[in-house]
């Protein structure tokens, strides 16, 4: 479990929104998807704030609204901005519920490492004596690189550890490493858990568990369209099953990063909203 969202978080969130019947996923062709808003205000009110934050950026929170994911820079900017607001929403949720706190020790370590970096530079330049003076400071900096890793500036509170443990337990259920739920429960909640299984990388294991529990092949979600990558349910839950949508969203973001610039969004507040097709 990590303290930051992963690259596939937008895809998993859209799968979740489709499962909750507030958006419709439409496969057009390779590297081209339409995400259509179909949810009423009442349905959106029951969606979690993090998912709503992504929908707001993509401009799909009203019936008839459309976001076209086509690998373009504009699409990539919308996805990247969506990841940013999702991250902000996650931090706000964690702070509000007291799940994470600032790690004072980590920030002291970062301060000391930064100071030693400056002293090492001065030492190697001969500003404070022989150049060998910079070696101890450089050694300290190298040894403390870990304090700059993502998420190390925060620590779990007692409540946060409980949430972390429940999340880890849920992942073990999806992957089949835990047998805390029965066959009836697996059959009942299978489709609702698919987006979570996808983001954990356990979609195939979850499908295998369903087949073992029920004796039937895992059903194809009615909210996910068929593509050339998944002609049947078995192919859908394989490692590449949901990759058509995920690859389209990720590719757009990677192209934006490679271009190194923000596309012209035409002054739209919802940078991802695109009317029609």
Tell me what pLDDT residue 239 has: 58
Q: Which range, of 47-51, 53-57, 102-106, 132-136, averages the lowest pLDDT? A: 102-106
Tens digit of each residue's pLDDT (9 = 90 or more) over 239-275: 566 888 888 898 888 888 888 766 655 444 444 544 4
Residue 170, CA distances (Å) to 33, 145, 184, 217 in order: 30, 32, 17, 22
How far is 178 from 25, CA to CA, in rounded Å?
32
Mean pLDDT across the stretch 44-59?
95
How far is 59 from 128, CA to CA, in rounded Å?
57
The region that residue 201 occupies, defined by phi over 0 for left and psi between -120 and 50 for alpha, beta otherwise, is: left
Closest CA to 76 of 271, 256, 201, 244: 256
Tell me what pLDDT residue 181 has: 84
Residue whose pair of structure tokens reads 């490493």 in the numeric block? 177
Q: Are 67 and 14 in contact (CB under 8 A)?
A: no
Q: Are 100 and 113 in contact (CB under 8 A)?
A: no
Q: Which helix (H) or strand (E) holds 35?
A: strand 32-37
Domain ranges of the chain: 9-100+153-259, 104-148
Q: Which helix (H) or strand (E) holds 28?
A: strand 23-29
Do the bridges between strand 32-37 and strand 154-156 make them parallel or antiparallel, or are there none, so unpaired? unpaired
Q: Are 1 and 168 in contact (CB under 8 A)?
A: yes
Burial 110-119 (b: 16+ CB within 10 A, else e): beebeebeeb
Q: Which helix (H) or strand (E) holds 100?
A: strand 100-102
How far is 241 from 227, CA to CA, in rounded Å?
9
Tell me what pLDDT residue 255 has: 87
Q: Does pLDDT of 229 surpass 70? A: no
Tell me what pLDDT residue 274 has: 47
The gap from C-alpha 248 to its chain's centroid, in whole angstroms, comes to 15
How far is 224 from 241, CA to CA, in rounded Å?
11
Q: Does pLDDT of 12 surpass 60? A: yes
Radius of gyration of the chain (CA): 23
How far is 243 from 251, CA to CA, in rounded Å?
11
How far is 74 from 189, CA to CA, in rounded Å?
36
Its pTM stands at 0.77
In the chain, the percentage of residues whose pLDDT exceeds 70 is: 88
């Amino acid at each position: 479990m990590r303290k930051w969202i992963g690259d596939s978080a937008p895809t998993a969130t859209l799968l979740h929104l489709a499962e909750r019947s507030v958006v419709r996923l439409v496969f057009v062709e390779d590297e081209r998807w339409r995400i259509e808003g179909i949810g009423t205000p009442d349905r959106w009110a029951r969606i979690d704030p993090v998912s709503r934050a992504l929908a707001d950026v993509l401009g799909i929170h009203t019936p008839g609204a459309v976001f076209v994911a086509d690998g373009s820079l504009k699409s990539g900017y919308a996805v990247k901005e969506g990841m940013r607001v999702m991250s902000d929403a996650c931090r706000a949720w964690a702070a509000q519920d007291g799940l994470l706190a600032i790690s004072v020790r980590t920030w002291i370590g970062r301060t000391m490492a930064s100071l030693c970096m400056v002293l090492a530079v001065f030492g190697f330049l001969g500003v404070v004596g022989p150049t060998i003076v910079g070696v101890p400071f450089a050694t300290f900096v190298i040894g403390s690189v870990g304090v700059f890793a993502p998420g190390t500036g925060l620590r779990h509170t007692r409540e946060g550890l409980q949430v972390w443990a429940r999340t880890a337990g849920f992942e073990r259920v999806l992957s089949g490493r835990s047998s805390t739920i029965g066959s009836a429960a697996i059959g009942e909640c299978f489709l609702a858990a698919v987006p979570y299984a996808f983001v954990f990388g356990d979609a195939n294991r979850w499908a295998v568990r369903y087949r073992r529990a029920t004796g039937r092949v895992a059903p194809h979600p009615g909210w996910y369209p068929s593509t050339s990558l998944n002609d049947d349910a078995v192919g859908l839950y394989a490692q590449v099953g949901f990759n058509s949508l995920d690859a389209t969203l990720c590719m757009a973001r990677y192209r934006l990063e490679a271009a190194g610039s923000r596309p012209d969004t035409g002054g739209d507040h919802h940078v991802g909203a695109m009317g029609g097709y």
